[in-house]
Chains A and B, each alone.
Chain A
């Protein structure tokens, strides 16, 4: 029963998976460009970000069509409305990866040791994004909760990055411009963690019907 509708929901899931994969590609590339200080790799990020913009439109189309033609309720409605909210965060993740890549292209004079901490931060952020999308596709409540818990790790990294950059600026005023670039990059990774958290919160809504923000305000 409702075979056609179920097929369309599967298409939506496949598109979300594809969009999630693009997000991972974008930030993994941006992080690699940073760690290898490679302009060539950095130049590959903007096209992925554009592809994410296009995917956002595609998924919106699917969701609006399903809302209009299938008039979903209960779990179906939650899944579709969660997807509609999540793609905004996914698209922003692409933008931030692009912002990071842009800084990498213009950045100069940064030493590998300063970048190291950011590399670890990037790995945490990438994992959050991967897990949040997986959690949606598998409707996995536990994984979504883990993503939300992981955000603290990324935030801690950002605090450590800030501290180390302040140290550098005090000790080596010549490195000021590099420190500011790295601070911006750190902030973008921190924002990416927040977007992954938002995605995970919508997964929780999709599974349980409760949004975490409502839970927190109670």
Chain B
């Protein structure tokens, strides 16, 4: 039933294998990630979900000794292909991390940083981007009177939304979120969850989360990873009400191990 409503896929992982030296961290991962949907990646620590997330915008390239086989197709093109410009890939596939990491500069400059890197200098244009990004990240009203103050003076939840705004400023198509609410209080968490649900009409969101209830609340699709393998992928309601694989059931009901 859901298969029909899934619409287009934006990313295809095809027999993806990743090794950190001798450690085979991702084993033959093959599945399609639907466009304009929220996909949650779940699984115990060390299962490969964050590693997988990072392969989607080539963040693992910098790890010494890493070896990647197979393909990650973004809109049909292999992002590990020779002709791919990693900077422009990361412009299209942005990332927000577990710990908010605003640059030690003003709120305005944090948001304008990306667009400036990509050559935008016109002040009016930058103003427009900064306002739009902050509005999209649901933090404009809280910071519009202090755009020139340091971003480091904001609360954790606000800093995380600044990071989301910074990622949105370069107009990506995909937003990767790596446990982006795990250090936040429930109110900031629900703001970011609401935000993710708002954003999915224009962006594809892929999130790693340890919070099962969060995956249930916000995601349309869930992928369960275990020991470097993709055990099960499907629509979230099915995964959490009648998972097909016993290992998925054991993990989500807290009876793992």
Residues of A at the B interface (CB closer than 8 Å) are 1-2, 5, 71-78, 208-209
Q: Please indicate the chain A residues that have their CB under 8 angstroms from the CB of B249 in the complex.
A: 74-75
Q: Is the CB of A73 within 8 A of B240?
A: yes
- CB < 8 Å neighbour of A77 from B213, B241, B255: B241
Q: Is the CB of A78 within 8 A of B254?
A: no
- Nearest B residue to A72, CB-CB: B253
Given contacts A74-B242, A78-B241, A78-B242, 11 further A-B contacts (CB under 8 A): A1-B255, A1-B256, A1-B257, A2-B254, A71-B213, A73-B216, A73-B252, A74-B241, A76-B253, A208-B242, A209-B242
Q: Please indicate the chain B residues that have their CB under 8 angstroms from the CB of A71 in the complex.
A: 212-213
8 interchain residue pairs of minimum CB distance:
A209-B242, A73-B240, A2-B254, A74-B249, A73-B252, A76-B253, A1-B255, A74-B253
Q: Is the CB of A74 within 8 A of B254?
A: no
Check B114 for interface membership: any CB of A closer than 8 A: no
- Nearest B residue to A73, CB-CB: B240
Check B243 for interface membership: any CB of A closer than 8 A: yes
A77 to B228, CA, bound (A): 28
Q: Please indicate the chain A residues that have their CB under 8 angstroms from the CB of B213 in the complex.
A: 71
Q: Please indicate the chain A residues that have their CB under 8 angstroms from the CB of B255 in the complex.
A: 1-2
Q: In angstroms, how far is the closest chain B Cβ from the Cβ of A42?
A: 44
Q: Is the CB of B212 within 8 A of A73?
A: yes
Q: How extensive is the interface on chain B, given as a class?
A: 10 to 19
A208 to B256, CA, bound (A): 21
Q: Please indicate the chain B residues that have their CB under 8 angstroms from the CB of A2 in the complex.
A: 253-255
A72 to B212, CA, bound (A): 10
- Nearest A residue to B215, CB-CB: A73
In chain B, residues 235-257, which have Cβ atoms closer than 8 Å to a Cβ of chain A? 240-243, 248-249, 252-257
Q: Please indicate the chain B residues that have their CB under 8 angstroms from the CB of A5 in the complex.
A: 254
- CB < 8 Å neighbour of A75 from B216, B253, B256, B257: B253
Q: Is the CB of B252 within 8 A of A74?
A: yes
Q: Please indicate the chain B residues that have their CB under 8 angstroms from the CB of A208 in the complex.
A: 242
Q: Please indicate the chain B residues that have their CB under 8 angstroms from the CB of A75 in the complex.
A: 249, 253
Q: In angstroms, how far is the closest chain A Cβ from the Cβ of B243?
A: 6
- Nearest B residue to A75, CB-CB: B249
A77 to B252, CA, bound (A): 11
Q: Please indicate the chain B residues that have their CB under 8 angstroms from the CB of A1 in the complex.
A: 254-257
9 A-B pairs (CB sep. < 8 Å):
A1-B256, A1-B257, A2-B254, A2-B255, A5-B254, A73-B240, A75-B253, A78-B241, A78-B242
A73 to B256, CA, bound (A): 14
- Nearest A residue to B243, CB-CB: A74
- Nearest B residue to A70, CB-CB: B254
Q: In angstroms, how far is the closest chain B Cβ from the Cβ of A203?
A: 15
- Nearest B residue to A6, CB-CB: B255
Q: In angstroms, how far is the closest chain B Cβ from the Cβ of A152?
A: 29
Q: Please indicate the chain B residues that have their CB under 8 angstroms from the CB of A209 in the complex.
A: 241-242
Q: Please indicate the chain A residues that have their CB under 8 angstroms from the CB of B256 in the complex.
A: 1
Q: In angstroms, how far is the closest chain B Cβ from the Cβ of A205?
A: 10
